[in-house]
Homo-oligomer: A and B are copies of this chain.
Amino acid sequence: MLRISEFSRLTRIPAKTLRYYDDIGLFCPAQVDKFTGYRYYSVNQLARLNRILALKELGLSLEQVKDMLDNNLTPEQIRGMLMLKQAELQQQIQQEQMRLLYVENKLKQIEEEGLMSDYEVVIKSVAPVHAATIRATTPDMAHIGQTLDRAFDTLMTYIGEHGKQSDKPEECGITLYLDPEMPDKDILLEAALGIEGDMKATGDINVYTLPAIEMAASVVHHGPFNTLDKAYHALFKWIEANDYEVCGPNREINLAYERGGDQNKYVTELQFPVKKKL
C-alpha cells in the first residue's frame, strides 16, 4: 500500500487532485485509515486510474468519465459519447482557427494603421423586422440623401394613417441595398420602417417581415453620412481578411438621426449578411 504522496509521485498526479477524485467518488483509495483518515493506494489501482486519465485526455469531463467507467454503458452509448465529443472538438478547432485569424489580422492592422482602429467589426445576429417598405432608385451616391428622405417621408405618412410605427430604435430607419454595386447603373434600394401589428399594403408600399440575419458583420459609424465610406472600407477589409463572404443585401440602420440635426451626433450601423468561406 502506498501513501498519497508515494502514489502521487508514481503516477505524477498531484496529491490534491487525488483527494479531489476521492471526494467526487471517481477514484478512491483502496483503503482509508479509520482513525487518521490517511489514504492508502495500491498499484493494482493503476488500471482504473489510467483508464480515467486516458478518457480525460479525450476531453471528456470527469462526470462523463465516471459514467463510462461505473454505469457500464452499452457500446452504443459509448460510441455515441465519443462521436459527440468528436464533433465538439471539430467545432472547437474551427473556432480557435477563426480566432487565430482574427488575432493575426488585428496584429497586421495595428502595424498598418497604428493602435486601434475607429471601426470594430463584430459578428452578430439580427432579428427579423416586421416592416413597411418602399423601393427607390438613385443614379449615384451624391443624391441618395434626398431619395431616402422622400422614401421615408412617404412611409411615415402611410404608417401614420394605417398603423403604428415600432418604437424599437433598431427599427426606426433601415435602408437595404438590393443590388451588388454596378457602375453606370442606378442604385436600387429599399427604405423600411418597423411597424407594430399588421397593416395592409398599397401601391408602392410593401408590408412584410425583413428576414433575420444569422450572421451579420456589423460596424457602427459615429458622425455625418459623408464619412460613411470609411466604415464601409473597414468592413470590407475585415470581411475579406477574415475569410467571410457577403451573402445578401446589406443594411444601414439609423440609430441616431434627426433630419437637419447635428450630423456629428448621427449613429449608423452597417450590417452585411456574411458566411464563412469554404
Instruction: Please give the residue numbers on chain A whose beta carbons come within 8 Å of chain B beta carbons, in ascending order.
Output: 2, 6, 9-12, 43-44, 46-47, 50-51, 53-54, 57-59, 75, 78-79, 82-83, 85-86, 89-90, 92-93, 96-97, 99-100, 102-104, 106-107, 110, 114-116, 120-125, 127, 168-170, 218-220, 222, 255-256, 267, 269
A9 to B103, CA, bound (A): 28
For A256, the closest partner residue in chain B by CB is: B43
Contact of A122 among B50, B85, B92, B115 (CB under 8 A): B50
Contacting residues, chain B, for A269 (C-beta < 8 A): 46
Contact of A169 among B10, B57, B79, B82 (CB under 8 A): B10
- Contact B107–A54 (Cβ < 8 Å): no
- Contact B46–A255 (Cβ < 8 Å): yes
Grouping DSSP codes into helix (H, G, I), strand (E, B) and loop, the A interface class, with mixed when no group exceeds half, is helix
Q: How many copies of this chain are found per oligomer?
A: 2
Given A57-B122, A255-B46: A75 and B110 interface contact (C-beta under 8 Å): yes
- Contact A58–B169 (Cβ < 8 Å): no
Contacting residues, chain B, for A169 (C-beta < 8 A): 2, 6, 10, 43
- Contact A44–B267 (Cβ < 8 Å): yes
Contact of A9 among B85, B106, B168 (CB under 8 A): B168
